[in-house]
Amino acid sequence: MSLSINLVNIKLESCLMNASGALCTTYDELKDLSQSQSGVIVSKSCSYVERKGNPKPRYYHSDNFSINSMGLANLGYNFYLSSAKYLNSNQKPFMMSIATLDDEYTFQILDSALKSPHIAMIEINISCPNICNTDTILAYHFTDLDNYLTKMKPYLDKNENSKPIGVKLPPYWEPYQFKEMSKLIVKYGFNFITLVNSVPNCLVIDTDTDSPVIKPKNGIGGLGGSYIKPVVLSNISQFYRLLPKEIQIIGCGGVETGEDVYHHLLAGASCVQIGTSLMKHGTNIFEAVGNELKTIMKMKGYDSIGQIVGHLKYNTPMQDGY
Ligand code: RRO
C-alpha cells in the first residue's frame, strides 16, 4: 500500500505536504521538511525582495484553529531559488509559492522559477488575506483577476519544461464564484489548484486580556485549522465537479488526522497540505497522519491514493461541468 500519487507529471512519494506559510520560511525549516516524510517541499510565498511582515504577535493557535496575519514575511525569491538548489540533492520536489504583489516583479519571479532546474512546480498565491495596504484579495475580483492573468499569460506560456503551475485560492461561498473561477482556471491552463488559503478577515478574542490574540490590523487575520474543514471540503467537492479531471486539486485546511486526509481525497483532492497541525506538532505530523491514513486504506481495501480521489458517494446524482 502506498501514499504516492502523480501531481500532473511528477511522481510524489507521499500525497502529503506542508501548506505554504507553515514552517517553510527559513533554510532550517525547509531542510527539516526535506528530511520529513512529506512528498513535496513547499516554500513560503515569496516576494521579489525580503519582507519583514506585520508586527508581532502575528500568529496564534489553540485546540481547533489558528489565526495569522504574517503580512507575507519572507526572505525574497532568490533565497528560495538557492534553497531549492541546496535541498535538491535528496530529490524531493520543491514547489515555489509566489506571492502576487507587484505585477512586473511577480512576473520576473515566475520567469526565474520556470527557468530554474531546481523548482519542480509553482503555486501562484492569488489569495493572501493579510497585506496591510490593500483592502482586496485578487481572487475575489474576477474581472481584475482575468486582466491580471492576461498580463501573466506570456510568462505562463514560456513553460518549456511543462512544470505544473497552479493557483492557491481563497474559500468561495456562492455558486457563481465557483463557476467563474473554474472558467478562468481552464482559460489560463492551470494544472492544479490549491484549496484553500486561510478564511480571511476573522477575529479571535482573548478573555483574559479583552484583546485580540494577534496584533496587526486590529486583530483581523486568516483562520486555519479544524474549524475550517467543512468549508474546505465544500470547496474541493464543488471545484472537483466543475473542472476537467486533468486539473488536479490540492486540499488545504483542517487536516489533523489520517481521517481528515481521507475526507479531502473523497471530496476530490489528489494531495493534501498541512498547515496548522504542522505548526503545532512539527514535521513528525507527516508520518503520524500518513500512518493513520494507511490504516484507513487497509480497512477500506484501497491500495493507492488514486483509488480514493473523488469517490465521495453523493446521496443524489449530480451533473459535472459549469
Ligand atoms: O503571510 C501571510 O500573512 C499569509 C499569506 Br501570504 C497567505 O497566503 N495566507 C495567510 O494566511 N497568511
C-alpha cell at 101: 504583489
pLDDT in tens, 94-134: 999 999 988 889 999 999 999 999 999 999 999 998 887 78
Question: 129: Cβ below 6 Å to ligand 1?
Answer: yes
pLDDT in tens, 272-297: 999 999 999 999 999 999 999 999 99
Question: 66: Cβ below 6 Å to ligand 1?
Answer: no
Cα–ligand 1 centroid distance for 20 (angstroms): 8
Is the pLDDT confidence value at 89 over 80?
Answer: no
Q: What does the alpha-carbon distance between residue 197 and residue 179 come to, in Å, rounded to a whole number?
A: 18
C-alpha distances in Å from residue 218, one per residue of 43, 101, 104, 203: 28, 22, 31, 9
Question: 226: Cβ below 6 Å to ligand 1?
Answer: no
pLDDT in tens, 167-187: 999 999 999 999 999 999 999
Q: What is the pLDDT of residue 189?
A: 97
Q: What is the pLDDT of residue 286?
A: 98
Nearest-atom index, ligand 1, CA of 72: 1
Helical packing angle, 258-267 and 285-300, nearest 10°: 60
Nearest-atom index, ligand 1, CA of 197: 9
Sign of the CA dihedral running 211, 252, 195, 43 = positive
Strands 220-224 and 66-68: antiparallel
Q: What is the pLDDT of residue 131?
A: 82
Q: What is the pLDDT of residue 9?
A: 93
Averaged pLDDT of the chain: 96
What is this structure's pTM? Answer: 0.98
Which of these is catalytic: 128, 202, 252, 271?
Answer: 128
Annotated catalytic, 24?
no
Q: What is the pLDDT of residue 198?
A: 98
Is the pLDDT confidence value at 150 over 70?
Answer: yes
Is the pLDDT confidence value at 8 over 80?
Answer: yes
Contacts of 131 (CB under 8 A, 6+ apart): 71, 72, 101
Q: What is the pLDDT of residue 316?
A: 79
Place of cell 484549496: 195
Question: 71: Cβ below 6 Å to ligand 1?
Answer: yes
Cα–ligand 1 centroid distance for 66 (angstroms): 12
Nearest CA to ligand 1 atom 7: 128
Q: What is the pLDDT of residue 322?
A: 65
Q: What does the alpha-carbon distance between residue 179 and residue 309 come to, in Å, rounded to a whole number?
A: 21
Nearest-atom index, ligand 1, CA of 71: 3
Q: What does the alpha-carbon distance between residue 36 and residue 287 come to, in Å, rounded to a whole number?
A: 8
